[in-house]
Amino acid sequence: MVLETATGLVLALMLHRHFRGRGVLRASILIPWAVPTVVSATLWKTMFDPRTGFVDYVLGALHLPGAHTTWLAGEWTSWAAVIVADGWKNVPFVAIILLAGLQVIPSEVYEAARIDGASAWQSFTRMTLPLLRPALVVALVFRTLQAFLVFDVIFIMTGGGPGTSTETLSYLNWHSFLVETNFGYGGAVSISLVVISLLIAGVYTTALRTSD
């Protein structure tokens, strides 16, 4: 969530600037988000394969750490691969929400700040971020719930492995119901998912109400 929000904010600030081809770039940045998750997860699984993917080749050619690594075979490396795949798909979604928030900020606010002698960093920290807070909360609500309930990326890329190291509650719920047919345990996990999701939404809603 931290990586996706920070990257999405940087992209939103870039796309908020006026430059030639901005409309095309705004449209193209949504392509990863529009690609079905099954397709993107399969694509990234292939790219992280040390025999057929290009990740290992690029890291080796640039003499960077991680070359000759079986990414989906280790606990931490498999999580890193999942985070990269999930971030590639969902960062554009965060960026578009934050871009919409940037566009409703009046330009007169920045003009007044420049007249008062505020630096670019002061304008960003004392005006842009506070005024962007409602959009940030909306993006965080959607992405936190999606990240908490993630299943398809885990299912395609790691299958919960190696071992059970990348199992999430959603994956555990599916495994309990459809693989182990343990309906009691699966039902308990389902109720836990609903309760935790409501708590997350409630925390963010309270934050939004406080900002208003």
Helix and strand element counts for the chain (H, E): 13, 0
Neighbours of 101 (CB within 10 A): 22
pLDDT in tens, 65-104: 877 888 888 889 999 999 999 999 999 999 999 999 999 8
Measured distance CA(49)–CA(83) in Å, rounded = 16
Q: Is 132 exposed, middle or buried (0-12, 13-18, 19+ CB in 10 A)?
A: buried
Cis peptide before 162 (omega within 30 of 0): yes
Measured distance CA(9)–CA(64) in Å, rounded = 27
pTM of the model: 0.86
- Residue 210, pLDDT score: 52
In the chain, domain spans? 2-211
Q: Which residues contact 9 (CB under 8 A, 6 or more apart)?
A: 94, 95, 98
Q: Which CATH class is domain 2-211?
A: mainly alpha
Do residues 70 and 53 touch, judged by C-beta distance below 8 A?
A: no
Measured distance CA(62)–CA(77) in Å, rounded = 19
pLDDT in tens, 24-60: 888 888 888 888 999 999 999 999 988 888 888 888 8
Structure tokens at 58: 């690029």
Residue closest to 67 by CA, chosen among 48, 45, 44? 48
